[in-house]
Structure 1
Amino acid sequence: MNATITSTARRGAERVEWTRSRMPLLEAARADLERTRPFAGRRIGMSLHLEPKTAVLVETLLAGGAELVGTGNHGSTQDDIVDYLNALDGVTVFGRRDDGIEAHAGNVARVLDAAPDMILDNGGDLAAELVARGATGTIIGGTEETTSGGDRLRAELSGQIPFPVIVINDSLLKAIGENKHSVGQSVVESYQRITNSMVIGHRFVVVGYGWCGRGIAQYLRAFGAKVAVSEVDELKAFEAAMDGFRVAPVADLAEWGDVFITATGRPGVLGVDVIERMRDGAILANSGHFPWEIDVEGLRARAASSTVLDDAIERFDLGDGRTVALLANGRMVNLAGREPKGNSIESMDLGFLLQTLSLERVARDAGSLTAGAQPVPEAIDREIARRMLSAMGAAA
């Protein structure tokens, strides 16, 4: 760390130190990477939520010889962590907590202006900007963290990425450990922290029954909530029904629910037509990567007025005696809300080890990997599962 650092960076350093002490998988990986140096001479361009666990990942990649230039995602950046990272040798990061979409796009552009030769992407923003610039040939490969980003690579950007991108969210290990259990836990915790409300006895509608939706529904029920699920995929809807949840189209649940949580990665799944039918006092929250699952613009246009109650709650007067409340402006409620914690340290120790070993595979073997989106190699999944079981004091 540089000799002169700000008080904000020092506070960030203290938070990172605590987090680092609880991430044994990355600690072991750092020791290995210091010896093998697979990223020596490589500059990694990163777009990822900037919070303490991410800082530990950055430290791990630095140990392997990497140089890092990166940015966060809008709404989830933690300023003390930005200042801490910028005090490290070999790291440059952009972005602040109050960045909007346009500022984030500018930060993504600045990352690519630094000419990285590998990318660590979250939501496909770096990949999309590379394609828009026609500059994909400068990259040997990279990783993508999210379902949303994997979808972009396989749809919007299909056939336009000439280098390998390992999609971390394709890993069953991540789906179980991070998405189901950690997202499920952190979304429920964030709802309670932001609203100061009980979960017990309230009626929640979870929109989407992928791995994150499964976890959210499970943890809500564990806390005593009444839970219904809306899912358009027949097989996932069948699973939700077999898991004991009420299953129906979201429009049919509009008048039943007290709280609606989206978990699909798809735009507009909670539209004004559904909000129009909600009961007075309904609460809306999103857990997906992009702030587009709730039609916030449509809600603003529909509402007679709105009141910002604090930095994480906005109440909309629908003009007919009813109000609805929006949490975290429709952004990821567990990372953009009040006192953001995100996913648990243990789950991100696992998830960021997946990132580290996948980036190592790309650095060593990019030429032998196929171009475009692809899953985490099974050997990496199984190796990390063994390490995680050992860290938990369990055995296969």
Structure 2
Amino acid sequence: MTDLSSTELSARGAARVEWIRSRMPLLARTREDFGSSRPFAGHLIGMSLHVEPKTAVLLETLAAGGAEIVATGNHGSTQDDIVAYLRDLGMTVHGRRDDSLEQHHENVAAVAAARPDILLDNGADLAALAAGAGEDWRIIGGTEETTSGGLRLRSQLEGRIPFPVIVINDSLLKAIGENRHAVGQSVVESFMRITNLMVPGRRFVVAGYGWCGSGVAHYLRALGGKVAVAEIDELKAFEAAMDGYRVAPLEDLAEWGEVFITATGHPGVLTEPFFERVADGAVLANCGHFPWEIDVPALRAYSTGATVLDEAIERIDLPGGRHVILLADGRMFNLAGREPKGNSLESMDLGFLLQSLSLERVATAPESLLPGAQPVPDVLDREIARRMLAAMAAHR
């Protein structure tokens, strides 16, 4: 936690949000629309999502529509100045940057305890708590931001969610604009910012060739990286091969790669058999939502020692004199380290417009949606595409 007072933190947060807000024209228009229509009047929106400046602009937009807000961030990505700023706006925001995982779970539980009737979820953490609450908690619907959360809703929570949840990451618009291009850009930027290592000529292995993985591979290669892809889905592996990447199983790439980046949304991608073969000095990083793609507990159990080298850099010693470098403790590393930026402003303007209009649909026409996880309605995708194209044309 920073030593600044809450007043100083809030002022710093306000200044940062002002810059972000000025570069998010799609949300600016929506904020005006919501100010007139007030679609969230009488509703309490519960949020579990990264608390950073772009999210603050989203919350301002929802508040303009009459929403009350109770919120928390994700583990390790909360920015304290933004928390202070949002609290000064009258929102209830739990958590801070240095919270432990246990404290983070308590923060999510505190949001759930407020019994919001609309959820803005990231990883289906709130939905999971709602599934166990029964009739004690009435929810009219919500949204889920991530692929990982969508998978969770459609697997372990399948049939247990009696309200509609629009999965923002099912949107083709978001997949193209945010996942492929914005995540791809932010992952490469964050790798350089956190490690200060050079991309050109370095050997990278990207695990997963979905929208995020393909974007990461694209931007690494664009900057001169040598990129291989590990993908268990035959069709995606074929696509990666046709895009010109070396494609092979992780075990065959363990000794070749210098940097391994997981982007699958699934647990247990890098596990002990991989750690037994990985090259000395390799960097391990994850850009998926949950910190489970790199099996960090197994890595620590296999290790002979560990040394924290910087805020998001840890050396893990392995048997036989080898070592690996773990970034951000296996958490989403493009929101880690000093001055994390995350995805680009334009992509989040688009993504949060999807959130805003999807939440508006939940608040005003829940009967038009089915219970459980579902994609963004096509009519919203196409309307937002038109708005984004118009905004892009205005800057040419």
TM-score by length of 2: 0.97
Alpha-carbon displacement from aligned partner over 1:298-337 (angstroms, at most 9, x marks no partner) = 1111111111001110001113121110001100010123
1:34-73 paired onto structure 2 within 5 Å:
34-73=35-74
Are the counterparts in 2 of residues 136 and 161 from structure 1 also a CA contact under 8 Å? Answer: no
Residue in structure 1 matched with residue 382 of structure 2 by the alignment: 382
Report deviation, 1:134: 2.3
What letter is aligned with 1:45?
G
Residue in structure 2 matched with residue 233 of structure 1 by the alignment: 233
Give ranges in structure 1 of 5+ residues lacking alignment.
none
Residue in structure 2 matched with residue 344 of structure 1 by the alignment: 344
Give ranges in structure 2 of 5+ residues lacking alignment.
none
* Counterparts of 1:5 and 1:21, CA distance in 2: 24
* Counterparts of 1:159 and 1:324, CA distance in 2: 41
Residue in structure 2 matched with residue 322 of structure 1 by the alignment: 322
* Counterparts of 2:137 and 2:159, CA distance in 1: 14
Report deviation, 1:179: 0.3
Aligned residue for 2:265, secondary structure, equals: coil
* Counterparts of 1:377 and 1:237, CA distance in 2: 29
* Counterparts of 1:62 and 1:76, CA distance in 2: 22
Aligned residue for 2:291, secondary structure, equals: coil
Residue in structure 1 matched with residue 286 of structure 2 by the alignment: 286
Residue in structure 1 matched with residue 304 of structure 2 by the alignment: 304
Residue in structure 1 matched with residue 392 of structure 2 by the alignment: 392
Alpha-carbon displacement from aligned partner over 1:129-182 (angstroms, at most 9, x marks no partner) = 111222575100010000111111111100111111100000000000000000
Relative to structure 1, is the Cα distance of residues 263 and 136 closer, same or farther in structure 2, using a 3 angstrom cutoff?
farther
Report deviation, 1:394: 7.3
Aligned residue for 1:261, secondary structure, equals: strand
* Counterparts of 2:368 and 2:275, CA distance in 1: 50
Report deviation, 1:27: 0.3
Are the counterparts in 1 of residues 167 and 373 from structure 2 also a CA contact under 8 Å? Answer: yes
Aligned residue for 1:244, secondary structure, equals: coil
Aligned residue for 1:138, secondary structure, equals: coil
More displaced stretch, 128-137 vs 281-290: 128-137
What letter is aligned with 2:197?
S
Aligned residue for 2:46, secondary structure, equals: strand
Aligned residue for 1:352, secondary structure, equals: helix
Residue in structure 2 matched with residue 109 of structure 1 by the alignment: 109
The runs of at least 4 aligned residues of structure 1 exceeding 4 Å deviation read: none
Are the counterparts in 1 of residues 130 and 137 from structure 2 also a CA contact under 8 Å? Answer: no
Aligned residue for 1:6, secondary structure, equals: helix
What letter is aligned with 1:337?
G
Are the counterparts in 1 of residues 115 and 137 from structure 2 also a CA contact under 8 Å? Answer: no
What letter is aligned with 2:42?
G
RMSD between superposed Cα atoms in Å: 1.3
More displaced stretch, 286-295 vs 266-275: 266-275
Relative to structure 1, is the Cα distance of residues 233 and 136 closer, same or farther in structure 2, using a 3 angstrom cutoff?
farther
Relative to structure 1, is the Cα distance of residues 135 and 330 closer, same or farther in structure 2, using a 3 angstrom cutoff?
farther
* Counterparts of 1:100 and 1:341, CA distance in 2: 21
What letter is aligned with 1:108?
V
1:1-396 paired onto structure 2 within 5 Å:
6-89=7-90, 91-135=91-135, 137-393=137-393
* Counterparts of 1:348 and 1:211, CA distance in 2: 16
* Counterparts of 2:130 and 2:368, CA distance in 1: 22
Are the counterparts in 2 of residues 136 and 162 from structure 1 also a CA contact under 8 Å? Answer: no
What letter is aligned with 2:308?
V
Report deviation, 1:264: 0.5
Report deviation, 1:279: 1.4
Report deviation, 1:97: 0.6
* Counterparts of 1:366 and 1:133, CA distance in 2: 20
Aligned residue for 1:190, secondary structure, equals: helix
Report deviation, 1:102: 1.4
* Counterparts of 1:257 and 1:345, CA distance in 2: 31
Report deviation, 1:115: 1.5
Are the counterparts in 2 of residues 307 and 316 from structure 1 also a CA contact under 8 Å? Answer: yes
* Counterparts of 1:136 and 1:73, CA distance in 2: 25
Are the counterparts in 2 of residues 45 and 116 from structure 1 also a CA contact under 8 Å? Answer: yes
* Counterparts of 1:381 and 1:373, CA distance in 2: 17
Relative to structure 1, is the Cα distance of residues 70 and 131 closer, same or farther in structure 2, using a 3 angstrom cutoff?
same
- Provide the identity percentage: 71
* Counterparts of 2:76 and 2:6, CA distance in 1: 24
Report deviation, 1:99: 1.7
Aligned residue for 1:279, secondary structure, equals: coil
What letter is aligned with 1:83?
A
